[in-house]
Amino acid sequence: MKVKIKSNAFLIAVSAVILGLFAGGLLMMSIGSNPFEGFYYLFRGGLMNMERIGNTISTAITLMLVGLSVAFAFKTGLFNIGAAGQMLVGGLCATLVAHYVFIPRPFYLVVIIFCAFLGGALWGVIPGILKAKFNVHEVVATIMMNWIAYWSIYYFVPAYLKGPSLETESKSIAIEQSLRSPWLTEIFGGGYINLGIFVAVGAIFVIKYVLDKTTLGFELKAVGSNRFCAEYAGIKVNRNVVISMMIAGGLAGLAGMTYYTGYSRNIQIGVMPSMGFDGIAVALLGASNPIGVLFSALFFGMLQSGKGFMNAMTEVPPEIADTIIATIIYFTATSVLFSRFWDSVGRKKRDKAQQKIDQDESKEEVSHE
Amino acid sequence: MSHVIEMLNIRKEFPGIVANDNITLQVEKGEIHAILGENGAGKSTLMSILFGLYHADRGTIKVRGEEVHIASPNDATDLGIGMVHQHFQLVQTFTVTENIILGKEGGFVLDRKSAAKKIKALSEQYGLSVNPDSVIEDITVGMQQRVEILKMLYRDAEILIFDEPTAVLTPQEIEELMQIMRNMVKEGKSVILITHKLDEIKAVADRCTIIRRGKMVGVVDVASTSQTKMASMMVGRPVNFKVVKEDMEAGKPVLEVKDLNVLNIKKTPAVKNFSLQVRAGEIVGIAGVDGNGQSELVEAITGLRPIVSGSIYINGDDISQASIRERNESGIGHIPEDRQKRGLVMSASLSSNMVIKEYYREPFSKRGILHQDTIDKHAQDICDAFDVRSGEGIFSHAGKLSGGNQQKAIVGREMALEPDLIIAVQPTRGLDVGAIEYIHKRLVEHREKGKAVLLVSFELDEIFNLSDRIAVMNSGELVDVVETKQTNEEEVGLMMAGVRNKEAAL
């Protein structure tokens, strides 16, 4: 099934970003700061040296996988708002592997990826089954699953993975059991960069392939675009809902792995990972397209990792960066307005062309009669 | 002769299209004036301008000789113009009286009694026989339409516009509606009838304005103009009404339905003890007014709706518990009733839509990987063979196609499956004469290949034109099955109302 993304999806995203930055600039001005200075340090903070770039990328890795999870569910007409819970469970599974499985590195990586995916998939498939069997709305079910994950971690971590000093986080995993990699760390001169980058980029292309080239993707998109037609064509709608939520959950589980065993090396209790929700923004800005998700995650990653530097160098509080993100989401969500705008720009051009054709045709008609 | 309505040189443009181009309409007092045109010809736009829903870019409107500006439906009502819409605007749980006085309640305290009295008087005057105290949801569609008419009369409308009023009626109800129109004219009202059905115009109208592609083709005197002449003026070329069909001997049963019971969405019986055979090389038409169980019957056969009891056989195999895909594979093709909801994925390309029932099979995919080239070629073949026209060919989104082209694409896709049985539900609804002709021809071709066709239509013309046998459905039951050659529209019409053959003969 080839569902062409709107040709102006890119234009919409860029318009939203520009307007979001503009609104952020206005905010900076309103608190008496120089917006050009603010943005200068915001971008510098994300990009000024290899270490900063590494940190931008490692923030983007998690956002990419969460964004992909949300986007994938969107394609099947589902709203996965439970990526945070799936991240927690996937991250917990990965942490357990990191603490207890000691095998050669290549096998180890396969096992940790597999377990993280499985954990997230389990957390995603439950709402999927509830939706398919009992028509429970996935938004309600996934939000509840978030809190089940949150409280389960709250009790599980102090009971079984207690750190030596702090009650509120698990003991740190050994650096060689994490996703950090010496050669990557060396290239980027330290920072949080980790092997998750390959997982994330790999997942982007695998999902793109699945959606574009396989019968599974064909079915998922048919169900997402018009479930009545899919049903009529003999596609099992409920089965696809379950599969879609399972894969979406698994992707968020991988995001949890990159966050808890790559970016950081422990799990904090009593914290719902906010990236689970930022992923919705990534998916929206990326127009639910895997490649779009790749770029929008990088952009948001840059804002996230640059905001601290901006705050250190100027009077602008880091919340401004969050406000910019929020504003961009706002503008993306109201993308209808942009698409109307760009459509009308396009139409005027087409109209002129059409008028000419019409004139030619009417001349022809007259000559025939 | 005094013109009660004059619309002079009306022009209305929408972005990219001229809906009305210099159209003039003159309606005389006390006449039934028909407006004839294909779908999209601009009839509805013209009437919407008269009723104040749209504003003309150019041209003038005169009512009773005086130039007027109609800015809203309220202005139109004040001028004595009333419109009976295609989709009724009634509150289902209110009584007839309450619906009629809605928006015209008068003072603070509702005076239902005197309103009901006035309604009763009007009803008798025009022969509508409507009970003012009935609740809308309890009365038939035909009666509901009369309530709409009463609404206009209650507001002292002098000019009544009917927008495709017969689409939802049985033949008998149509006959009665025509009598009502004649009564109105007798009482000095004027009627504008929008339609694309020629026999209705012939039966009731005095004069007829014909519109084609937004332009006025002419005004004819109905009595002295033949239907063929009017049709060719409407379409712009000679039209074949009769489908040419060879006589054929029907073969073995392809579809067999036995004692089928199905519930509708409200969990009440919709199909009751229904039995029917469709044999190879024949077209069986199911006649009936919309909502008498036809949709549920088709959904039960195609697997979209579970059955309560009974059995369904295709070529002798019981498929009543089979999955939808198994049924598709067993040789059922289905042209669904609602092409936008069921028939196509509007946001997907035409190419994807053309394999939506076959994508999982070779040659379109192998081990879960799609073969896009084969898929595209298949779609191209269908578009060529069935004359599907679209802006970007097979890469166009299905939603960008016109209704006729969407329908041709669906018909093409289903025919390409080479099914033993095609179930065609309202295959030509909303299409223009050209597309109708084409789709009818294809269905007859399918029959001539020795395959079976089950046709469900609310248009008796279509049923009579195509079917070898006609099965009449009324409130979920099979009234009777008759040979097309041995019956007529009147008899089938009576059966559609639930009167059985034998009773009618008494």
Q: List pLDDT tens digits, range B451-480.
A: 999 999 988 889 999 999 999 999 999 999
Minimal Cα distance from A355: which residue of B?
B16
- The CA distance from B496 to B175, in Å, is 14
Least confident of A6-20, A168-182, B405-419: A6-20
What distances in angstroms separate CA A345 from CA A23, A332, A341, A348, one per listed residue? 24, 19, 6, 6
Q: How many CB atoms lie within 10 A of CB A43?
A: 15
Record: contact A226-B336, CB cut-off 8 A? no
Which of A206, A207, A244 has its CA nearest to residue A222?
A: A244
pLDDT at res. B181:
92
pLDDT at res. A348:
59
B186 touches chain A (CB under 8 A): no
Q: Is A103 buried (19+), middle (13-18) or exposed (0-12) by CB count in 10 A?
A: exposed
* Residue A350 pLDDT level (bands cut at 50, 70, 90): low
Q: At how many degrees (to 10) do helices A237-258 and A50-75 cross? A: 170
pLDDT value at B506 more than 50: no
Q: ipTM score of the complex?
A: 0.80
Minimal Cα distance from A229: which residue of B?
B342
* Residue A6 pLDDT level (bands cut at 50, 70, 90): very low
pLDDT value at A28 more than 90: no
CB B299 within 8 A of CB B456: no
Minimal Cα distance from A223: which residue of B?
B345
Record: contact B359-A234, CB cut-off 8 A? no
The CATH number assigned to the domain holding B45 equals: 3.40.50.300
B146 lies in some domain = yes
Backbone phi, psi, residue B356, to 5° = -65, -20
Between B325 and B85, the more confident residue is: B325
Please name every residue paired with B23 in a beta bridge, in sequence order, or none if there are none. Answer: B10
* Residue B171 pLDDT level (bands cut at 50, 70, 90): confident
Give chain B positions within 8 Å (CB) of A346: none
Q: What is the mean pLDDT of residues B251-275?
A: 93
Q: Quick: pLDDT tens for A31-44.
A: 888 888 888 988 88
Give chain A positions within 8 Å (CB) of B336: 232
CB B210 within 8 A of CB B218: yes
Which helix (H) or strand (E) covers residue B284, if one does? strand B283-287
* Residue A363 pLDDT level (bands cut at 50, 70, 90): very low
* Residue A3 pLDDT level (bands cut at 50, 70, 90): very low
B287 lies in some domain = no
Give chain A positions within 8 Å (CB) of B351: 2
pLDDT at res. B102:
84
- The CA distance from A98 to A180, in Å, is 12
* Residue B393 pLDDT level (bands cut at 50, 70, 90): confident
Interface test with A, best of B319, B326, B359, B365 (most A CBs within 10 A): B359
Q: Quick: pLDDT tens for B264-286.
A: 888 899 999 999 999 999 999 99
- The CA distance from B368 to A125, in Å, is 22
* Residue A356 pLDDT level (bands cut at 50, 70, 90): low
Record: contact A215-B359, CB cut-off 8 A? yes
* Residue A362 pLDDT level (bands cut at 50, 70, 90): very low
Q: Is B428 buried (19+), middle (13-18) or exposed (0-12) by CB count in 10 A?
A: buried
Give chain B positions within 8 Å (CB) of A225: 345-348
pLDDT at res. B248:
82
Interface test with A, best of B352, B396, B414 (most A CBs within 10 A): B352
Q: How many CB atoms lie within 10 A of CB B399?
A: 12
B97 lies in some domain = yes
Q: What is the mean pLDDT of residues B184-213?
A: 90
Give chain B positions within 8 Å (CB) of A3: 345, 347-349, 352
pLDDT value at A367 more than 60: no
The full set of domains in chain A, from first to last, is 53-314 (1.10.3470)
B125 lies in some domain = yes
pLDDT at res. A145:
96
Task: Tokens for A67, please give them.
Answer: 């964004």
B360 touches chain A (CB under 8 A): yes
Cα Rg for chain A, rounded, in angstroms? 23
Residue B179 identity (one-letter amino acid): Q
pLDDT at res. B43:
86
Between A153 and A315, the more confident residue is: A153
pLDDT at res. A10:
81
pLDDT at res. A353:
55
B110 lies in some domain = yes
Domain endpoint, select from B372, B387, B417:
B417
The number of folded domains in chain B is 2
Residues B65 and B187 in one domain: yes
A244-255 as b/e, with b when 16 or more CB fall inside 10 Å?
bbbbbbbbbbbb
Domain endpoint, select from B367, B402, B417:
B417
Please name every residue paired with B32 in a beta bridge, in sequence order, or none if there are none. Answer: B191
- The CA distance from B394 to B388, in Å, is 9
Domain holding B110, by residue range, is 3-235
Q: What is the mean pLDDT of residues B6-16?
A: 86
Residues B351 and B204 in one domain: no
A368 touches chain B (CB under 8 A): no
* Residue A322 pLDDT level (bands cut at 50, 70, 90): confident
- The CA distance from A297 to A64, in Å, is 5
Domain endpoint, select from B364, B396, B417:
B417
B406 touches chain A (CB under 8 A): no
Nearest residue, CB atoms, B324 vs list A222, A234, A347: A234
Minimal Cα distance from B302: which residue of A?
A232
pLDDT at res. A138:
94
* Residue B494 pLDDT level (bands cut at 50, 70, 90): confident
Record: contact B357-A354, CB cut-off 8 A? no
Residues B8 and B148 in one domain: yes
Q: What is the mean pLDDT of residues B27-34?
A: 93
**Which residue in the block uniquely carries the two structure tokens 């490649």?**
A291
Minimal Cα distance from B375: which residue of A?
A1
What distances in angstroms separate CA A15 from CA A8, A253, A293, A331, B444, one per listed residue? 10, 32, 16, 8, 54
- The CA distance from A291 to A204, in Å, is 7
**How would you classify residue B497: left for phi > 0, otherwise alpha for psi between -120 and 50, otherwise beta?**
alpha
Q: Quick: pLDDT tens for A71-102.
A: 999 998 999 999 999 999 999 999 999 999 99
* Residue A365 pLDDT level (bands cut at 50, 70, 90): very low
B500 lies in some domain = no
Query: Percent of chain B scored above 90 by pLDDT?
Result: 54
Residues B40 and B168 in one domain: yes
* Mean pLDDT of the residues in chain A: 87
Q: What is the mean pLDDT of residues A180-196?
A: 88
Which of A361, A338, A301 has its CA nearest to residue A45?
A: A301
pLDDT value at A196 more than 90: yes
Q: Characterize the bridge pairing of strands B17-28 and B3-14.
A: antiparallel
Record: contact B357-A230, CB cut-off 8 A? no
Residues B229 and B375 in one domain: no
Size of interface A-B (CB pairs under 8 A): 89
Q: What is the mean pLDDT of residues A219-245?
A: 95
Query: Percent of chain A scored above 90 by pLDDT?
Result: 53
Least confident of B119-133, B231-245, B247-261: B231-245
pLDDT at res. A150:
96
B408 lies in some domain = yes
* B211-230 residues touching A, CB cutoff 8 A: none
What distances in angstroms separate CA A93 from CA A118, A272, B125, one per listed residue? 8, 16, 82
Q: Quick: pLDDT tens for A268-290.
A: 888 999 899 999 989 988 888 99
Interface test with B, best of A5, A226, A340, A366 (most B CBs within 10 A): A226
Q: How many CB atoms lie within 10 A of CB A368?
A: 6
pLDDT at res. B420:
96
Residues B16 and B149 in one domain: yes
B364 lies in some domain = yes
* Residue A218 pLDDT level (bands cut at 50, 70, 90): very high
Q: What is the mean pLDDT of residues A228-249?
A: 95
Minimal Cα distance from A237: which residue of B?
B324
* Residue B289 pLDDT level (bands cut at 50, 70, 90): confident
Record: contact B359-A218, CB cut-off 8 A? yes
Interface test with B, best of A3, A215, A289, A362 (most B CBs within 10 A): A215
**How would you classify residue B106: left for phi > 0, otherwise alpha for psi between -120 and 50, otherwise beta?**
left
CB B70 within 8 A of CB B50: yes
- The CA distance from A317 to A320, in Å, is 6
Minimal Cα distance from A1: which residue of B?
B352
Nearest residue, CB atoms, B370 vs list A218, A234, A347: A218
A7 touches chain B (CB under 8 A): no
- The CA distance from B242 to B236, in Å, is 18
B397 touches chain A (CB under 8 A): yes
Residues B79 and B200 in one domain: yes
Which of A290, A297, A291 has its CA nearest to residue A258?
A: A297
